Amino acid sequence: MPHLHQWSLQYPSKPALIDLASQRTISFGDLDRQVQHAASWLISLGLDAGAGIVILMENRPEIIELGLSARRAGLYFTVVSTHLTAPELAYIVRDSGATVVFVSRDTAPAVEALAANGGLEGLRVFNVDADDQPQAFASYLRALAAFHPVGALPERQIGRDMLYSSGTTGLPKGIRRPLLAADTRDKPEPEVEAWRRAFGFDEHAVYLSPAPLYHAAPLRYVMRTIEAGGTAIVMKKFDALTALQVIDQHHVTHSQWVPTMFVRMLELPRAVRERYDLRSMRVAIHAAAPCPIHVKQALLDWWGDIVFEYYAGSEGVGITAIGPRDWREHPGSVGRASMGVIHIVDEDGQELPAGQVGKIYFSGGPTFTYWNDPQKTKDAYNERGWATYGDMGYVDDEGFLYLVDRRTDLILSGGVNVYPQEIENAISQHPQVQDVAVVGVPDASYGQVPKAIVQLRDPDMASEAMAQELVTFCSAHLSKIKMPRTIVFEESLPRLETGKMLRRVLKERYQTQPDAGYRVRS
């Protein structure tokens, strides 16, 4: 019996999903009926077990409804970013193998453009918005209303998401994991069990999701919260003040953030922050991007010891987690393994001892494939069958993992490994710095040298003197080889909503302009 159905029988009137944008509250009973009806309808479209659908829309309840319906119908569902370019969208739709696409009134024009260019051959498109004006595509609501299921759902495997990587280092790749056996519907997946155990999610949880649902963690956490019997609250878009208001008003117990959201909330005046009662929160989780130590320390001072961190990836091959008390003793760590076993490996494939930096691998976790890319799948595993997200790091003597950087972002300067994150952490502590990214650029003497791209809190302060001040500030934290040789000031940096920096964009921008900006003395 699906978890959602079990909760609908036990708590039919309890809120399962609250959508702040539309002010809709959907009960467990109503959601279960909608999901069952939509699952039957999807199967009636001729979608065999393991077939796929694509969901393209802003944060709204239909994403969760369709995702849960796909799970019940034994389908893969791909939720895609509303910020994709037309070629990126066309690529994902084709690559995923989906035959049905769901859009909203806001996202329909992007798919209409694909149709005009012949990019929708063989696809059926449904618009989830009501028929209050002419629409280019068939109405999802009308199709459901006209459908009358006959008999029970066929016995199928449990469907799951097939999400695409953010494309920070190239074209996004679909991450496909095996469907789950039908007879495991009552049993938690190892990854989900690790999540519940680490963060205490249960039927009493009230979870706030301020991030886009087309990213893996927000999507999965909302669905898991509902399947655990808790209530999920979805914001259409993050806003620092609104987030605090929601925590206070709805007595939120669990929430998930990215470091840039912490920064925005911490920037609110103290008098504004103190208006809201945040005592209901038991767990505030963050991940997705490195959090500077001073930012996390400031949040702990404000929220108390409720801030938890984890390290994982959409591929789901391993997880680490760390609570506030352990973090205070191991600042900067992302924790110990809560699923899988950590291995730090050098370039020759040999496992390294504690304290030495290498590529991070996990053994004992679930398997996955990059859809339609066997070479990239092969590259994610070593000869022992251990899998990696592609990051570099080390463990200490107690088994706590510390991230250093992604292997693809490593700067090799004069034969020395230089990690951009270390430089970014140093620069970000300057009180005038809003955001910073570091990339390697060509250099005749050293091969590569670090370049810092900085967003100041006050753009009018950008100058050669400020560039030199930043480097002098960093000299207490960095050796000379790690110091930026040039600094560029920009009004904003290319980050995803998850907080991930699109270094690829900056690398491409400055690969042919290595001397751009202010040259500084270290």
Q: Which residue has the tokens 């059926």?
A: 124
Residue 422, CB half-sphere, CA atoms under 13 Å: how many? 21
- 361: how many CB neighbours lie within 10 A of its CB? 25
Task: List strands edge to edge, sheet with 163-164.
Answer: 163-164, 174-176, 369-370
- Could you tell me the CA-to-CA distances from 45 to 112, 136, 218, 360 in Å, in that order? 22, 20, 28, 43
What confidence score (pLDDT) does residue 366 get? 87
Helix residue spans in 213-371 (DSSP H) = 216-227, 240-250, 259-266, 270-273, 293-303, 324-329
Cα distance between residue 94 and residue 77, in whole Å:
14
Which tokens is 249 given?
């008003």
| CA-wise closest residue to 59 among 211, 232, 252, 253 | 211
| CA-wise closest residue to 195 among 312, 307, 78, 329 | 312
Helix (H) / strand (E) containing 420: helix 420-428
Which tokens is 137 given?
């595509």
What confidence score (pLDDT) does residue 114 get? 82
- State the angle between helix axes of 3-10 and 28-44 in degrees (0 to 180), rounded to the nearest 10: 140
Burial class (CB within 10 angstroms; exposed 0-12, middle 13-18, buried 19+) of 344: buried
Cα distance between residue 320 and residue 313, in whole Å:
10
Cα distance between residue 388 and residue 88, in whole Å:
25
| CA-wise closest residue to 439 among 508, 517, 503, 522 | 503
b/e per residue, 70-103, with b = 16+ CB within 10 A? bbbbbbbbbbbbbebeeebbbbbbebbbbbbbbb
Residue numbers in the chain where pLDDT is lower than 70: 1, 119, 130-135, 166-171, 407, 414-415
Ordered by where they begin, the domains of the chain are 23-184 (3.40.50.12780), 206-407 (3.40.50.12780), 410-519 (3.30.300.30)
What confidence score (pLDDT) does residue 198 get? 80
What confidence score (pLDDT) does residue 415 get? 66
What confidence score (pLDDT) does residue 404 get? 84
DSSP assigned state of 230: -
